[in-house]
Amino acid sequence: MYRSNVLVCGGTGCTSSNSLKIVEVLKEEIKKNGLEKEVNVTTTGCFGLCALGPIMVVYPEGSFYSMVQVADIPEIVEEHLLKGRIVTRLLYQETVEDDTIKSLNKTAFYAKQKRVALRNCGVIDPEKIDDYIAMDGYAALGKVLTEMKPEDVIQTILDSGLRGRGGAGFPTGLKWKFAAANDADQKYVCCNADEGDPGAFMDRSVLEGDPHAVLEAMAIAGYAIGASKGYIYVRAEYPIAVKRLKIAIDQAHEYGLLGEDIFGTGFDFDIQLRLGAGAFVCGEETSLMTSIEGKRGEPRPRPPFPAVKGLYRKPTILNNVETYANIAQIILNGADWFASMGTEKSKGTKVFALGGKIEHTGLVEVPMGTTLREIVEEIGGGIPGGKKFKAAQTGGPSGGCIPAEHLDIPIDYDNLLEIGSMMGSGGLIVMDETTCMVDIAKFFLEFTVDESCGKCTPCRIGTKRLLEMLDKITKGQGTLEMIDEMEDLCHYIKANSLCGLGQTAPNPVLSTLRYFRDEYVSHVVDKKCPAGVCKDLLEFSIDKDKCVGCGLCARNCPVNAITVTDYIAPNKKKPAYEIDHSKCIKCGACIDNCRPGAVYKG
Amino acid sequence: MKSLAELQAIRDKAKANINLRKENPNAARVYVGMATCGIAAGARPVLNAFIEEIAKRGLQEDITVTQTGCIGICQYEPVVEVEIPGEEKVTYVKMTPERVARVVNDHLVNRNVVTEFTIGAYT
């Protein structure tokens, strides 16, 4: 019997800051102190507070150590694990309040969260099926196979109001119902784990932290629609997720929770992995299935929809990782429980990957209907450096931005569409006043131009022309007519592209035009970038009356564009410096090194 | 896996360890003083005896055993404090692994303080 459990985050974020080495040293130190029979060390999935990684939590005390270094381990083992003295210095400081330690669940980051899809992340060892079973894992599959008819399962999912978490928000139960209604000798259940939006890592975290939840849900879906085979299409760039999925599938086989005659009910179900090579278009359902078939990942027109003719031209359902992560909980706790969370048309919770200009970069799960303000200011801890919130980008290259005026809008599928953005898979990138919205639109468009598969003309050529216009605007070569032309082209691309990639690619441009048109106009008319980002429109200068003549700027200038003048400002001892604009490459080294703040851009 | 009973058996076995990873604010708490003085006086076997006794009775969800630093009465070590929500904290002194079963049974389960082991009996 262990008296203490040490959980170390083994998600991608913490692993990249050396958490696996920490586990190794921790085990050594525990052995050195003769505690190996008393203290259990577990590697878990993501805790969510990725900004503070590597993360380590010690139970039963619930002590939350953040930014743990290998060098801290001997002290933690000797003081905390051996002698019972919590090393307060190394704790996440928000949990320390006037010498007492408060529960992690009461900190701003966790207090407003509701973890359903992420419930096991940071709790269980994802490489141990027993841990998952201890958290009622596979009980939902058992219940479905022994007590429920396939139509009851579909009805439960319909009643719960669960909508697809991949972004479009199609009712999951309806998808299953369509596929179940089609007779075929073989049907398929697919899982879309081809998470491609820049800055999004929700699905990766679920797969890394709780892979069995996805396997169990796919088996349940298989039973509901009458399929015996499943495929998980996962990015090859997610090596930890792939490894844990493989382990999970093997363990499920060993226990007979996948394979033939599951629970002695005669139900067979098996799952195979397919690794995607990282093409964004393969996140689109028809491309994804084409890719599973071993062909080049390109979309095809719908209808026929996958529920009629999908993988290998057989009825198929394709759901996103996070959608599956909710299924077992809905079966166990009932449709009413799930429907009690969220807003009228969007039930349950949503996982967001918080990134950009925000204090607590990481993974959060909140009930639908939580406002953006709560997510950014309370859970996310606000914007670093006292800067002002400008906008949040949701839905990646297919989505749009939410400006400050809509901070208090309850986030759900329909509200976001109404204000010109979309839920997307859950990437949430926060931008402050130093972000140029034209530049952001250009960034996402560069991405879609790269990722367009080229099959249809509106997307292949349209996005390219759109990018060229944006590029001209950021270089000060745009005209007001060009802005109108861009808008027309956006609508044309949306209306005529073959698949979701092209149909949504202009969204970042349209939504920045909608809320930040004045920034486009400044670029075009005044030839200025208000945020000071677009280099071609910038000029660095030195305020000679502020300059103290220290010469740091000149020494740091890589092209020797800064020279000393003979002007000495009143109250200053040394002559001021100036920048030769014909030599300046606008790298910004001078402004970063100027202590009195004499260098300015504009 | 051929039956639900099989799944249930694995679940029960694995659950004990997982329960340690949850915070239960309503749980009774057993604090074992584990500073140098406590360890020297034999606090570690006492701690392990609590863990085992509680596991044996399947009470992990209701009782949290945790170590703490020096309680300040080194001559009475090993010292154990028992705190049941809504009741006054009780301090047991000169604890031994043999005494643990009685504290668990009488105090934690049946809510009768084992007066003869408390600090009051020694001062």
Q: What is the pLDDT of residues A287-341, one digit of tens each?
A: 999 999 999 999 999 999 999 999 999 999 999 999 999 999 999 999 999 999 9
Q: Could you tell me the CA-to-CA distances from B123 to A136, B35, B80, B95, B119 in Å, in that order? A: 49, 22, 16, 15, 7
Between chains, do B21 and A146 touch, taking CB under 8 Å as contact?
no
> Distance (Å, rounded) from C-alpha A55 to C-alpha A69?
10
C-beta atoms of B10 and A256 within 8 A = no
Q: Model confidence over B75-120: pLDDT tens digits?
A: 888 999 999 888 888 999 999 999 999 999 999 999 999 999 998 8
Question: Residue A394 contacts by C-beta under 8 Å, 6 or more apart in sequence?
Answer: A400, A401, A402, A416, A421, A422, A423, A424, A426, A427, A428, A429
Nearest CB to B2 within list A123, A139, A256: A256
Residue type, A231: Y
What distance in Å separates the CA atoms of residue B49 and residue A578, rounded to the nearest whole number? 76
Nearest CA in chain B to A131: B14
Report the chain B residue with the minimal C-alpha distance to residue A257: B1
Q: Are strands A259-262 and B80-83 parallel, antiparallel or unpaired?
A: unpaired
Q: Which residues of B touch A123 (CB under 8 A)?
A: 18, 21-22
Domains of chain A (ranges plus CATH)? Answer: 4-111 (3.40.30.10), 129-339 (3.40.50.11540), 349-432 (3.10.20.600), 437-526 (1.20.1440.230), 539-601 (3.30.70.20)
Instruction: Give the integer Cα–Cα distance in Å for A456 and B99.
Output: 79
Contact between A284 and A166 (Cβ < 8 Å): no
Q: For A495, which DSSP code?
A: H
Mark yes or no for CB contact B35/A85 under 8 Å: yes
Instruction: Give CA–CA dist A182/A166, Å, rounded.
Output: 24
Please count the residue pairs, one from chain A and one from chain B, whose beta carbons lie less than 8 angstroms apart. 98
pLDDT for the residue numbered A60: 84
Q: Which CATH superfamily is domain B27-122 in?
A: Glutaredoxin (3.40.30.10)
Residues 6+ apart with CB under 8 A from B73: B79, B93, B119
Give me the long-range contacts of A458-462 (CB less than 8 A, separation at least 24).
Answer: A458/A492, A458/A493, A458/A495, A458/A496, A458/A497, A458/A498, A458/A502, A459/A493, A459/A497, A459/A498, A459/A499, A459/A501, A459/A502, A459/A505, A462/A489, A462/A492, A462/A493, A462/A496, A462/A497, A462/A502
**Mean pLDDT on A429-436:** 94
Express each pLDDT in A45-101 by its tens digit. 999 999 998 999 998 888 999 999 999 999 999 989 988 888 999 999 888 877 777
Q: Is A130 in contact with B25 (Cβ distance < 8 A)?
A: no
Structure confidence at residue A168 as a pLDDT band (50, 70, 90) = confident
CA A2 to CA A537: how far, in whole Å? 63
- pTM score over 0.95: no
Residue A357 — pLDDT band, cuts 50, 70, 90?
very high
**What is the pLDDT at residue A233?**
97
Please report the residues numbered 7 through 26 in chain B whose beta carbons come closer than 8 angstroms to any beta carbon of chain A: 7, 10-11, 13-18, 20-23, 25
Task: Give the range among A106-110, A310-314, A502-506 with minimum mean pLDDT.
Answer: A106-110
Is A131–B18 a contact, with Cβ atoms under 8 angstroms apart?
yes
DSSP strand pairing (A4-9 vs A56-59)? antiparallel
pLDDT tier, A414 (very low <50, low <70, confident <90, very high otherwise): very high
Report which DSSP code applies to B107: I
A100-101 and A96-97 beta bridge pairing: antiparallel
- Which candidate, A97, A34, A37, places its Cα nearest to that of A64? A97
> Can you read off the two tokens belonging to residue A190?
């697919």
Per the CB < 8 Å rule, is B52 touching A1?
A: yes
Q: Check whether A562 has a pLDDT greater than 90.
A: yes
What ipTM is given for this predicted complex? 0.80
Distance CA A56, CA A64 (A): 6
- At residue A455, the 3 state secondary structure works out as coil
Q: Using the beta-carbon criterion (under 8 Å), do B10 and A83 form an inter-chain contact? A: no
